[in-house]
Chain A
Amino acid sequence: MPIPDRDIVDVSFKRLDRTESLFVLNVFKGLGTTLRHAFQNVGRNGSNKDTLWVVQYPEQKRDDRPVEEGGQYRPTFRGVHRLNRDEDGRVRCVACFMCATACPANCIHIVAEASPWDDREKYPKQFDIDELRCIYCGMCEEACPCDAIELTPHYEVTGLSRQELIFDKTKLLEVYDQTVGEKPM
């Protein structure tokens, strides 16, 4: 059965007129566009707010920029974890395993033990987070019933080996000690 004309679409291009089919003028038009961009950016090393507004990373950071210009909004940024301490300086975690269960990357490993204190049953003897497996989704923070685990706005986490980047309880508490000033619990 032949396809009726109604079902057929003609996708022909527009015919080039005489000037267009010589290409030359249009090539120069195109050159105008690219050269305009080139002259806007030449020698400015990416600091032109209209076209190219680059963060030269190690020297400049997103933290230095206002949020409207692509800066980092620190209060909700999800960076490296910390384990909070309570008023007595003890680890707040009660080893309930909620975070480990919620974690989609399965990167929290907790070993629980009977707590030496009276106000809780358990505490974490060991608390490891694999910062390389973590996807920084913040689910652990959401899940925690006693605000023991939190994500800080720090993103420059480096190390020389994979082992180094598995943060244990001491390290996580240390992160708390360092960041408690800028993000109080």
Chain B
Amino acid sequence: MTLLPTLLAATGETPVLAQIITGVVVVLVMVHLILGGCAYSIMLERKLSAWMQDRVGPNRVGPMGLLQPIADGLKFLLKEEYAPKGVDKVLFTLAPTFIMVPAMLGFVVIPWAGVLDLSSLPFGLSEKLGWEGWQVRVIGADVNIGVVFMLATAALGVYGVALGGWASNSKFSFLGGLRAGAQMISYEIPMGLALLVVILMAGTVTPYGILEAQRESGWFLVQQPIAALLFYVCMLAESNRTPFDLAEAESELVGGYHTEYSSMRFAMWFLAEYFHMITGAAFFSLLFLGGFSVNPLPFGWDLPVEGGIGLILLQWGVMLGKVALLVAFAMAIRWTIPRFRFDQLMRLAWEGMIPLSLLVVMATAVSVYLGLQNWMWLGSIGCVIVVYLVLPFMPRSATANRRIAIVGSRFSPLRGEDALPPRPAVALSDAAIPDPAQGARSIH
């Protein structure tokens, strides 16, 4: 009973308890919203891919096929929960949760809206509870390490994939897990550096601090387009989406790390992937799209930060809209770009994105030191120019031997006069058939 008064008295005007209750409400609402969103983004992805490929997509269950996710979910529940022989039962069961939980943890530190004035609660709720004049932030947990927490949880996701691959006792799963490990380690670096750019620009790691900085300098997408691009690509890589889905490359690895999974365990992998995508999109809109802000420029009108319940809902809607757009964009990319080969993936990270992100970090650091961070859009253009100048001197990939001997073959691209007459078949010639006892001899 002593805890309650302590909490109520904790910070000057607004008691911690009110903030905690808000946090719990936000988390509860968002978890369910995002889980439903996951189901429906699977549906959206199926529809979108169908439209892009001139197909129709699911359209039978319910009006316009809108009940398809529910049918899918039911089917997952009714399937047999199968575990092959020789799997590590404990890890096999735990692995999907190991990827699900980090994905769900990350979005706790996302601000979904600004500061809510509790006086505006409906039904006179604030008077009854004595909450009048109190202000709370619409966020799961306004921790002061903010985006660092997010980076940490995002990095945890790889454990699930690696564990799932290991526990399945199958070489396809194992290869998938290994690939995911190598890939995530590589893409963590440019992601961290892009995040560093944001932290440098904002001068803080708290989510609201970053939003405040973006209201002053314009969205970081405008100020830092390169960092935004790098971050978005890394986000795709972190959530194992095409073109970075080598861990589950179905053309090579059957299903990759989830080859041996079935039923609800498999559905967990699937949900986690989409959960990751939604969380990643939310972080992207927090870091680069100004959260619930609607004006990308440093001047002009914008939604106010503090306000009543109506404004908060509007801000929430803006944020969700941005997330939905980003998720749809990730899907469009998935159905446009083919999967990388693994060496291409590694080269993109180590020879392309990491040097580029280092360049951007350097440019940002200098301009922040000179107090010019509001001119970073110019700095970004400068970075692009530097890249253009430097590109011809970058090391190329090892030259493969692309000179192929095609001796009078019908596959020879040489036509007409250039074409050689086909060689006489050996069996028709009088040449002696080589004697194996004398060792192999060339018949040419």
Contact = CB atoms under 8 A, between A and B. Distances in A.
B429 to A, nearest CB: 16
Interface in B9-67: 48, 50-56, 59, 64
Interface string B407-437: 1100011100000100000000000000000
Given A21-B391, A24-B229, A30-B336, A37 B52 contact: yes
Contacts of B404: 8-11
A1 B444 contact: yes
Interface string B325-369: 000000011011100000000000000000000000000000000
A31 interface: yes
A21 B406 CA distance: 31
A29 B406 CA distance: 36
A31 B336 contact: yes
B332 A11 contact: no
B332 A34 contact: yes
Contacts of A21: 391
A69 to B, nearest CB: 16
A34 B56 contact: no
Given A8-B404, A22-B387, A31 B56 contact: no
A158 interface: no
A45 B64 CA distance: 8
Given A18-B392, A22-B387, A27-B333, A51 B54 contact: yes
B405 A35 contact: no
A6 B420 contact: yes
A9 B54 contact: no
A111 interface: no
A41 B49 CA distance: 11
Contact of B336 (A7, A27, A39, A42): A27
Contacts of B333: 27, 31
B85 interface: no
Interface string A30-54: 1101110111111001100001101
Contacts of A11: 402-404
Nearest to B413: A9
A15 B351 CA distance: 17
B387 A3 contact: no
Task: Classify the secondary structure of B's interface with A.
Answer: loop
Nearest to A28: B336
Contact of A35 (B332, B388, B403, B442): B332
A22 B336 CA distance: 17
Nearest to A58: B60
B54 A41 contact: yes
Contact of A37 (B53, B56, B403): B53
A31 B332 contact: yes
Contacts of B53: 37
B403 A8 contact: yes
B384 to A, nearest CB: 8
A46 B50 CA distance: 10
A9 B415 CA distance: 12
A41 to B, nearest CB: 4
B402 A37 contact: no
B57 to A, nearest CB: 9
A33 B48 contact: no
Given A1-B442, A27-B337, A46-B56, A37 B407 contact: no
A12 B402 contact: yes
Given A18-B392, A38-B332, A45-B56, A10 B402 contact: yes
A11 B229 CA distance: 34
Interface in B239-295: none
A9 B401 CA distance: 11
Given A18-B388, A18-B392, A37-B52, A7 B337 contact: no
Nearest to B387: A22
A125 B335 CA distance: 61
A30 B336 CA distance: 6
B402 A34 contact: no
Given A9-B414, A22-B387, A3 B405 contact: yes
A165 B403 CA distance: 61
Nearest to B226: A24
Nearest to B404: A9
B407 A7 contact: yes
A22 B352 CA distance: 9
A34 B336 contact: yes
Nearest to A42: B51
A33 B332 CA distance: 10
B52 A45 contact: no
Given A1-B442, A11-B402, A24-B229, A34 B52 contact: yes
A37 B332 contact: no
A63 to B, nearest CB: 20
Nearest to B418: A6
Contacts of B444: 1
A3 B408 CA distance: 12
A37 B388 contact: no
A159 to B, nearest CB: 23
14 contacts: A6-B420, A7-B408, A8-B406, A9-B412, A9-B413, A18-B392, A27-B336, A30-B336, A34-B336, A38-B51, A38-B332, A45-B59, A46-B59, A52-B54
Given A3-B407, A38-B52, 11 more contacts: A7-B405, A12-B402, A13-B402, A18-B391, A30-B336, A35-B332, A37-B54, A38-B332, A41-B51, A46-B56, A52-B56
Please provide the 5 A-B residue pairs with the shortest distance between their CB atoms, ordered closest to farther: A46-B56, A41-B51, A38-B51, A34-B52, A12-B402
